[in-house]
């Protein structure tokens, strides 16, 4: 068999990604048909920039979902090494393809003779999984601390702002180098940080519901018990591994026993996750604090105060909904920034295992042979670029549409 030409490679990749195209077309057809009933999301389809951005983002989301848990799009195993395929150019046929095996390395082989195309797709799942969830956690922390800081002001604000500025003054890479090392994982510090940072969604949801249904105890009490019980279970499964919350060589703090533990998180992933949340939260805090300070002078806040509403009700049910526009836009931008941070961590070989297919690690592995075989590093670089670009364009489209009314 001979090598494929570039046109051929693109056509084959197009076919291989078939399920993604179908999902994208269905999503867009449905959204455009019902766009008048879908609020801000529907309005996105009035702006070309926003639509392009959304298409790019959803492309990678579908690639991640189909390629990751559903295991569809990949042509080869992302970790297995195939003899004779080391550093081969895109479109190289496999020397001894067995029956039923895909006969080509569509985007070539890397320096360990693994298929670049399959690694790219598996890597998309890691990014699509971690970046939005980490951003969401950062938002929970930022909102829960930023609202009271902006609303009450005074000493609380001074202390919290000082702490936020303290973290912001740290060069991000230095912080990563200090936090994301195997030695620090041994001391259990990431586990303590996880304990602290992951409690914020619980606090947030608890206060949110309590403030709303405070006057109807018969609704509030069962609701709070149910929701907080479920979230608490998730929280405990998240922070405890092998029945311990913090396990160091010298001591350990017991956590949820193994049979109740829903999922275990790899300590490498946990430390990456925690540090990304830690770096992002102060910026969100500053944004929320600024918005709260601005909105608390409005008339509807004064009206709520006169009605005798509690401070948390005003913060979460009067101020927060009115700050949603800028926050949604910033959420999109921040997912992009988180993706960049994850790539940075991979680029310096911190946190994730060296054979992990995520894009940053792959770029790091490919850059040593950049002058001779650039394809192994360029493929994930272009992937990361398009995803972040898509998120930025999406944020731009959302901003334009939310300013229009």
Question: Binding to another protein (CB under 8 A): which residues in 57-86?
Answer: none
* 362: CB partners within 8 A, 6+ apart: 110, 116, 119, 120, 123, 346, 376, 377, 379, 380
Q: How far is CA 371 from the centre of its chain?
A: 32
Q: Which is nearer to another protein, 67 or 380 (CB)?
A: 380
Assign 252 to helix, strand or coil. Answer: strand
Backbone angles phi, psi at 103, to 5 degrees: -85, -5
The nearest distance, CB 311 to another protein, in angstroms, is 28
Q: In the set 384, 398, 399, 401, which binds another protein (CB under 8 A)?
A: 384
Q: Which of 121, 115, 109 is nearest to 20 (CA)?
A: 121
Tokens at 64, concatenated: 């991640």
Q: Which is nearer to another protein, 16 or 187 (CB)?
A: 187
DSSP 76: S
Question: Binding to another protein (CB under 8 A): which residues in 350-369?
Answer: 360, 363, 366-367
Q: In the set 299, 371, 403, 404, which binds another protein (CB under 8 A)?
A: 371
Q: In the set 87, 187, 305, 322, which binds another protein (CB under 8 A)?
A: 187
* Spatial contact of 339 and 64, defined as CB atoms under 8 Å apart: no
> Is 193 one of the binding residues for another protein (CB under 8 A)?
no
Per-position b or e across 190-217, b if 16+ CB within 10 A of its CB: bbebbbebbbbbbebbebbbbbbeeeee
Q: Strands, DSSP E only, in 94-169?
A: 104-105
Q: Which stretch binds another protein (CB under 8 A): 147-155, 217-225, 309-317, 372-380?
A: 372-380
Q: Which is nearer to another protein, 290 or 311 (CB)?
A: 290
Binding mask 160-179 for another protein (x = CB under 8 A): --x--xx--xxxxxx--xxx
Tokens at 2, concatenated: 């001979």
Supply the DSSP string of 40-58, one letter for each residue: HHHHGGG-HHHHHHHHHHH
> Is 325 one of the binding residues for another protein (CB under 8 A)?
no
Q: Which is nearer to another protein, 233 or 348 (CB)?
A: 348
> Is 192 one of the binding residues for another protein (CB under 8 A)?
no
Q: Which is nearer to another protein, 201 or 346 (CB)?
A: 346
Q: Which is nearer to another protein, 210 or 275 (CB)?
A: 275
C-alpha 118/C-alpha 64 separation (Å) is: 11
C-alpha 315/C-alpha 325 separation (Å) is: 16
Q: In the set 372, 403, 404, 405, which binds another protein (CB under 8 A)?
A: 372
> Is 396 one of the binding residues for another protein (CB under 8 A)?
yes
- How many residues bind another protein (CB under 8 A)? The answer is 47
> Is 389 one of the binding residues for another protein (CB under 8 A)?
yes
The nearest distance, CB 148 to another protein, in angstroms, is 21
The neighbour count for residue 138, using CB atoms within 10 Å, is 25
244-247 and 104-105 as β-strands: parallel, antiparallel, unpaired? unpaired
Question: Binding to another protein (CB under 8 A): which residues in 35-54?
Answer: 49
Burial class for 116, CB neighbours closer than 10 Å (0-12, 13-18, 19+): buried
C-alpha 366/C-alpha 359 separation (Å) is: 10
Binding mask 274-303 for another protein (x = CB under 8 A): ------------------------------
> Is 381 one of the binding residues for another protein (CB under 8 A)?
yes
Q: Which is nearer to another protein, 15 or 174 (CB)?
A: 174
Question: Binding to another protein (CB under 8 A): which residues in 331-350?
Answer: 336, 340, 343-344, 347-348
> Is 375 one of the binding residues for another protein (CB under 8 A)?
yes
Report the C-alpha dihedral over residues 37, 41, 44, 45, rounded to 10 degrees: -50
Conformation bin of residue 349: beta by default, left when phi > 0, alpha when psi is -120 to 50: left
Binding site for another protein (CB under 8 A): 49, 162, 165-166, 169-174, 177-179, 181, 183-184, 186-187, 189, 336, 340, 343-344, 347-348, 360, 363, 366-367, 370-375, 377-378, 381-382, 384-385, 388-389, 391-393, 396
């Amino acid at each position: 068999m001979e090598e494929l030409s570039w046109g051929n490679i693109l056509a084959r990749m197009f076919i291989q990604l078939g399920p993604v195209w179908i999902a994208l077309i269905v999503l867009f057809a449905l959204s455009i048909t019902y766009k008048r009933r879908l609020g801000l999301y529907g309005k996105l389809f009035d702006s070309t920039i926003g639509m392009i951005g959304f298409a790019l983002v959803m492309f990678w989301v579908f690639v991640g979902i189909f390629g990751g848990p559903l295991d569809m799009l990949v042509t080869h195993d992302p970790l297995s090494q195939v003899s004779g395929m080391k550093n081969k150019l895109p479109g190289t046929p496999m020397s001894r393809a067995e029956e039923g095996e895909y006969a080509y390395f569509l985007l070539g082989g890397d320096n360990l003779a693994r298929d670049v195309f399959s690694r790219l797709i598996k890597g998309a799942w890691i990014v699509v999984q971690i970046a939005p969830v980490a951003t969401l956690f950062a938002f929970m922390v930022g909102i829960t601390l930023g609202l009271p800081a902006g609303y009450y002001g005074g000493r609380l604000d001074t202390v919290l702002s000082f702490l936020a500025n303290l973290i912001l003054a740290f060069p991000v890479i230095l912080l990563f180098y200090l936090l994301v090392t195997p030695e620090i994982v041994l001391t259990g510090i990431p586990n303590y940080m996880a304990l602290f940072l992951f409690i914020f969604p619980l606090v947030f949801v608890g206060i949110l519901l309590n403030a709303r249904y405070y006057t109807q105890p018969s609704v509030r009490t069962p609701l709070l018990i149910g929701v907080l019980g479920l979230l608490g279970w998730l929280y405990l499964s998240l922070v405890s591994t092998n029945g311990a919350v913090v396990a160091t060589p010298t001591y350990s703090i017991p956590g949820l026993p193994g049979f109740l533990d829903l999922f275990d998180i790899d300590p490498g992933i946990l430390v990456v996750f925690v540090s990304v949340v830690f770096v992002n939260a102060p910026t969100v805090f500053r944004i929320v604090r600024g918005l709260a300070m601005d909105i608390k002078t409005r008339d509807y806040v004064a009206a709520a105060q006169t009605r005798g509403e509690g401070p948390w009700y005003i913060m979460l049910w009067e101020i927060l909904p009115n700050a949603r526009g800028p926050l949604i836009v910033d959420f999109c931008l921040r997912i992009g920034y988180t993706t960049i941070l994850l790539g940075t961590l991979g680029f310096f070989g911190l946190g994730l295992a060296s054979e992990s297919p995520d894009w940053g690690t792959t770029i790091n592995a490919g850059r040593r042979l950049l002058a001779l075989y650039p394809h192994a590093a360029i493929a994930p670089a272009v992937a990361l670029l398009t995803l972040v670009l898509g998120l930025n364009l999406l944020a731009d489209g959302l901003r334009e549409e939310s300013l229009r009314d």
